[in-house]
């Protein structure tokens, strides 16, 4: 299978790319190295993929130019490229969210109008639900995002529906719930918490720590995303992809404290605009139609992220030690 992975140098995109390559698929990877985190980490995310002859990297910005040639030879398009993050999406940076989450998606769908035999898997977010009234939250729940980020991801969903209804572009929408694991973005909570624990620095929590999330390990996200690209008879459907348990933030801090082997200093501040109190995914539809069953529990997955962070920081310190004076 020839695949296009947008956002291939990102957290989830790099894991998806490696999984596809390991199973013998050819991957064209796209990334524009936007400013949501450092270029060095994104380049490191591609180190394994770059070892494969079947991987071709195309450093372009999807929000600029004609994408017809990009999609013409790819049977399945995994659209993970986005401007991420709830908190930074307010104010002056909203323009970047419109460009990278809405315009880029529209241009990609436009390019697919001539290729109705292709499938687009669109990576959406649980942020489209906002403060849902029902837990676990089913896909039928009316979306009500509480942040500009959530609004732009929902706009992308609507674009997928519009292009399917008017031009026959086949799409499947996945709503990811709080993804974590090795290579997690530096602005995300577990990355920040693990880094602070290793550096023996205070941890800042926005809110009282009792807010809950449906944490989903990146390997389980990859499995669901790949299934959405191949399972027949699911065009036009929306699927929740969650980890299978609703866990309070303070419980995850207790685990990191255990991994670090020392007490953590935790400071609490007021909740930030756009942060919801709780999330929990009803994954019945994904289980029945995608065969999705989360394989990695929170303790195992969070330990994997903590150890990745520890090893990455040790490697970075070693590299600095050996730099010429």
C-alpha to C-alpha distance for 185 and 38, rounded to whole angstroms: 10
As a 3-state breakdown, the chain gives helix, strand, coil percent values, each rounded to 5, of: 45, 15, 40
C-alpha to C-alpha distance for 186 and 37, rounded to whole angstroms: 7
Cβ-proximal residues to 124 (8 Å cutoff; 6+ apart), any chain: 153, 154, 156, 157, 173, 174, 175, 176, 238
Q: Say whether 174 sits in a helix, a strand or coil.
A: strand
Instruction: At 230, list the tokens.
Output: 């191949």
- Pick the catalytic residue from 97, 129, 149, 176: 149
Q: For this structure, is 37 an active site residue?
A: no
Cβ-proximal residues to 237 (8 Å cutoff; 6+ apart), any chain: 172, 173, 285, 289
Cβ-proximal residues to 39 (8 Å cutoff; 6+ apart), any chain: 33
List, by residue number, the catalytic residues: 149
């Amino acid at each position: 299978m020839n695949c296009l992975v947008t956002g291939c140098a990102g957290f989830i995109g790099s894991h998806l790319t490696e999984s596809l390559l390991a199973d013998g698929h050819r991957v064209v990877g796209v990334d524009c190295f936007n400013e949501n985190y450092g270029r060095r980490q994104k380049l490191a995310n591609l180190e394994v993929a770059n070892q494969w002859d079947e991987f071709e990297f195309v450093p372009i910005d999807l929000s600029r130019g004609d994408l017809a040639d990009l999609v013409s030879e790819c049977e399945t398009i995994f659209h993970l490229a986005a401007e991420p993050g709830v908190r930074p999406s307010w104010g002056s940076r909203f323009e970047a969210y419109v460009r990278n989450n809405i315009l880029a998606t529209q241009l990609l769908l436009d390019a697919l109008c001539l290729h109705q035999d292709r499938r687009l898997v669109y990576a959406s977010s649980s942020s489209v639900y906002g403060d849902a009234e029902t837990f676990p939250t089913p896909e039928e729940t009316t979306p009500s995002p509480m942040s500009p980020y959530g609004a732009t991801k929902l706009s992308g969903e609507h674009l997928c529906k519009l292009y399917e209804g008017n031009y026959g572009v086949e799409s499947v929408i996945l709503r990811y719930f709080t993804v974590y694991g090795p290579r997690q973005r530096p602005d995300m909570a577990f990355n920040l918490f693990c880094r602070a624990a290793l550096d023996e620095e205070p941890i800042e929590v926005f809110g009282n720590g009792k807010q809950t999330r449906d944490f989903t390990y990146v390997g389980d996200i990859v499995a669901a995303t790949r299934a959405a690209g191949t399972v027949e008879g699911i065009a036009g459907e929306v699927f929740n992809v969650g980890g299978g348990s609703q866990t309070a933030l303070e419980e995850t801090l207790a685990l990191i404290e255990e991994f670090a082997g020392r007490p953590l200093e935790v400071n609490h501040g007021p909740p930030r605009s756009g942060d919801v109190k709780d999330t929990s995914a009803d994954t019945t539809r994904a289980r029945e139609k995608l065969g999705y069953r989360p394989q990695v529990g929170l303790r195992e997955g969070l330990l994997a992220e903590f150890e990745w962070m520890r090893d990455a920081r040790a490697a970075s310190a070693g590299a600095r030690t050996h730099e010429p004076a």
